[in-house]
Structure 1
């Protein structure tokens, strides 16, 4: 019995020793593997660094390369915009048949008869063609200047009267038809009134009497 116990003990000790040796060998193999991988990695990094330094030295010894740019191709690319792409599809624009609406033409005839002997009468004149932001207060192209400019750039006066001698602006005329009762037009009229007052431009408003088919000035311009 004692001999069997002794053999069992010896066997257990042997397995323990072999197990310890196996774990030690596995640890050594892991160390060798990591060191080998790390060494390769470091070697690769060092080689890349040497290659970069060598290429920089070669580039420094050679004259710089100047890229060849075709100015015509560059200009053609920068000049084209989305509108031109739409034009390529065809039928992007159509021409208006008349410059003025029938009512505006009738009013023009009345104005021409009443003031044509003393004033030139122009229609659909851009507001910014006769009123501009104050360049002495705001630098041109500044944020303030462009904000004031854009506020007026899409608006037109219905008519503008200019003296025949020298084409000096006498006044601007606005035809207050029913469209001016819309909220957006009321806002536009409020701004236009204030702009003309600040700029010192005389602004007169007209209404059409549909019963008598006559045009009446709200504040008739006096010559």
Structure 2
């Protein structure tokens, strides 16, 4: 085991400047805390997983390129086998841009084509806790049904 942690006074030269930043925005962090409370550790909550790490794809560059630099805000997985059960996208005003709308359509289609539900949650609805719980439960149940049907001979 080797810890890579230089002295705080030391700086390592790099060709570009990099600095650490929070993984989640304040809104995403607040929602993550809400998800933790709702799920009570009954599932795994992944934060910003890359779509290429979530979905199998054809072994062609085109298929990989379409998903390699995209992520979903949150991915809820079964606790025993880490199977993706549903994705969650927090939609803020940035999703109103033309390029974002195009990306959102692709992500919607990707999730639909794989049988994994995707919950698009406008940020102004984050405080509708009962509705959120109902939608998460519905999505989980639909995914469970899809997985049951796919395992039948």
TM-score normalised over the length of structure 1: 0.51
Q: 1:113 aligns with which of 37, 50, 55?
A: 37
In the alignment, structure 1 segments of 5+ residues that lack a partner are 1-87, 135-139
- The within-5 A match list for 1:177-216 is 177-209=92-124, 214=127
Indicate how the Cα distance of structure 1 residues 169 and 90 shifts in structure 2: closer, same or farther if over 3 A, else same: closer
The structural deviation recorded for 1:215 is 5.5
Distance 1:186 1:112 in 2: 29
The structural deviation recorded for 1:194 is 0.8
Give the structure 2 partner of residue 137 of structure 1: none
Q: Which has the larger radius of gyration?
A: 1
Give the structure 1 partner of residue 47 of structure 2: 123
Give the structure 1 partner of residue 20 of structure 2: 96
Moved over 3 A (4+): 88-91
Q: Superposition RMSD on alpha carbons, in Å?
A: 2.4
SS in 1 for 2:16: coil
- The within-5 A match list for 1:165-180 is 165-180=80-95
Aligned length: 125
Higher relative contact order (CA 8 A, sep 6+): 2
- The within-5 A match list for 1:5-154 is 90=14, 92-134=16-58, 140=59, 145-154=60-69
In the alignment, structure 2 segments of 5+ residues that lack a partner are 1-11, 141-153
TM-score normalised over the length of structure 2: 0.72
